[in-house]
Structure 1
Amino acid sequence: MNININNLLRENIKKLVPYSSARDEFKGEAAILLDANENAFGSPLASNYNRYPDPLQLKLKSKISQIKGVPTNSIFLGNGSDEAIDILFRAFCKPGIDNVIIVPPTYGMYEVSANINDIAIKRVNLTPAFQLNLEGIAEAIDEKTKIIFICSPNNPTGNSINRDDIETVLSNFNGLVIVDEAYINFSKQRSFIQELLEYNNLVVLQTLSKAWGLAGLRIGMAFASPEIIDIFNKIKPPYNINEASQILALEALENIDKVNNWIKETVKERELLDKMLLALPFVQQVYPSDANFLLMKASNPKDIYNYLVELGIIVRDRSSVILCENCLRITVGTPEENKELLAALQNYQKI
């Protein structure tokens, strides 16, 4: 699939002259930097953060490029994936005119960001098996539909979306298809970043918040054609990833073996937790998961949630979400945390 990205862009973005920061105009090393009105004396910290960071995070992108096998000019780094989602709306969707498609139940930020940007939302619910309703999506698309959001593995259901179905959407839609892979590290499915050369309307979102354990640093990743990445960089704030986050992320990316071991342990614990939860009499179903959490259907989810809160164990009540009625979402914890959770639930059935 090869579409004209420029035709999707809002006119004001086509004409936008991006802000040129001091670090855009001078790149490199110098003995005396008097161009950016920084504090020349340093920082009141053990390390100095008085200089503005690299606005394009090139060292960090280079390391990510080595790990992901994607060229640096196909990588955007944002303040969480939420920044990338927001930029997509601001770049490609005209407020009050255009619309996007989401496939509930799904990650809630797509809808929130659409509402903030005054973009209409078309909802095409997943099937009862939590897969795409391809006919429904095809019927929902009109000439004002600019973006389709697909989360795979999906949040809050945990399952991966059928790959052939996603490719069907990519091949037949003349807008952007966003495949959000925040949980891809826990899945046996291969990432869609391998398909970037085949589909220029594809944007893949990933994050350092989940498997990499860097949620506090707020670093999201978007992978797309260089043309789309250039648009992201044109719109983003000049210094959207701070220096401390860039340094710490680079350090973390050197520890890929540790992260891979955590992923293996998480998957092992997920399988054990699945089995143990199903043995509880009030648990009606535990849905298959390719993520680091399980969606559990129970006969009395609100009571279970409140009971666990009293014990200092916090899970997520998803009962009000479409197709997730009577469900709790449970993150896979450490072996010790999972044992405490299971012990609490086993005691609950005795009450």
Structure 2
Amino acid sequence: MDIKDLLRPTIKALKPYSSARDEFQGATDNMVFLDANENPFENGVNRYPDPLQRELKSLWSELKGVSVENIMFGNGSDEVLDLIYRAFCEPNQDNVITLPPTYGMYEVLANLNAIVIKKVNLDNNFQPKVDEILSTVDKNSKLLFICSPNNPSGNSFYSEAITRLVSEFKGIVVIDEAYIDFSKEESWVSRLNNFPNLIVTQTVSKAYAMAGIRLGICYASAEIISVLNAIKPPYNINELTQKKALELLNVKGLAEKQITDILLEREKLIDALKSIDFISKIYPTDANFVLVKVDDANKRYNQLIEKGIVIRNRTTQPGCENTLRLTVGTADENEILVKAFLLISKS
């Protein structure tokens, strides 16, 4: 597979914008910068940020054991996904495939980019129907989105199914691993070298407790990363985001401890939910949330709102009738949720 054959013609012919910080990359000590029309009065944010986030990327590369040339950062994972659309999908011509129920932004971005979206619903166990997916593909199918662990169901997809899809799909396969840190499954990042058409996305929003800074991660071949770097906005990751990410990532063991705590609380929450009489099913989860089936999702959602608790009602999603998605909170927050459920069940 030649990735260049999948790119839009306009992207292949694109001459990337060269910012001031792109053009000068030498030593910065004792240099006077008069190249970017910045305000010269120092306050910590008067200069443009590093357009390639070199310091942050180096740290992330070390933490994850992935080469810098295989990493790109986005302003949240949503920017990464949008850039993938822009690179590979010709508006009003190409199509992408999604597997509902799944993350809603895949469809939103398809609509924004004037791309046809083909949907192949997951089976009753929230697993991909591989044969049906592959039979849906046509010559204009450019992207296949796989969310594993899946949102909103929480389960991971079978490795054998993903392997077959990545091997047989003739376009780009995007595996969204926003919740991978809560799973025992191995990240597909370790298999980038085996599949030139594979892109893996992750985020610091969940396991790393940095949803507020908007930082998404893209892993792919150096060839794909170079294309995405060429079309991204020049300063897409602001200085404050880079500094905060560096600060928190350098706190040794912080993320690992929080992940451990969340996993422990997840199991305690699941055990407690088994005693709620209107919950008929608790779905297996590899994420930091639990999907449950109830007797009347709209009713139970509103009852929780009245008690000051906000969860997610997923009843309108395919295969998710009368389901609620519960994020795993702190021990105190989970206790408040369970007590509210018990009170509701007795009323």
**CA positional deviation for 1:307:** 1.2
| Secondary structure of the structure 2 residue equivalent to 1:296 | strand
Match of 1:250 in 2: 246
Map 1:74-85 to 2 at 5 A: 74-85=70-81
State the distance in 2 between where 1:294 and 1:255 align. 28
Counterpart of 1:260 (choices 256, 259, 266) is 256
In 2, the alpha carbon distance for the partners of 1:332 and 1:191 equals: 22
Offset from partner CA, 1:195-230 (integer Å, 9 cap, x none): 001001000000000000000000000000000000
Which residues of 2 match residues 117-266 of structure 1 at below 5 A?
117-266=113-262
Distance of 2:6 and 2:304 partners within structure 1: 48
| Distance of aligned partners of 1:305 and 1:93 in 2 relative to their CA distance in 1, 3 Å threshold | same
User: Offset at 1:256?
Assistant: 4.3
Alpha-carbon RMSD across the aligned residues, in angstroms, is 0.8
Q: Which amino acid in the other structure matches residue 333 of structure 1?
A: G
Q: Aligned pair 1:50/2:46, yes or no?
A: yes
Structure 1 distance, partners of 2:296, 2:270, is 18
1:349 is paired with a residue whose SS is: helix
Write the distance in 2 (CA, Å) between the matches of 1:255 and 1:180.
Answer: 26
Match in the other structure for 2:331: 335
Give the letter aligned to residue 6 of structure 1. Answer: K
Correspondent of 1:114 among 103, 110, 113? 110
Deviates more, 1:308-317 or 1:249-258: 249-258
Residue 12 of structure 1 is matched in structure 2 by 10
Q: 1:91 aligns with which of 73, 87, 93?
A: 87
Query: Who is 1:317 aligned against?
Result: 313
Unaligned runs of 5+ in 2: none
- How many residues get paired? 345
Query: What's the offset of the Cα at 1:31?
Result: 2.7
- The structure 1 residue matched to 2:266, chosen from 242, 262, 270, is 270
Partners of 1:264 and 1:239 in 2: CA distance: 34
Unaligned runs of 5+ in 1: none
Deviation at 1:59, TM superposition (A): 0.7
Task: Indicate yes or no: 2:279 matched with 1:288.
Answer: no
Partner of residue 32, structure 1: 32
Opposite residue 294 of structure 2, the aligned amino acid is A
Q: Partners of 1:128 and 1:271 in 2: how far apart?
A: 23
Q: Deviations over 1:244-272 (max 9, x none)?
A: 11011011111241211111111111111
Question: Matched residue of 1:97: which SS?
Answer: coil
CA 141–298 in structure 1, closer or farther in 2 if over 3 Å, else same? same
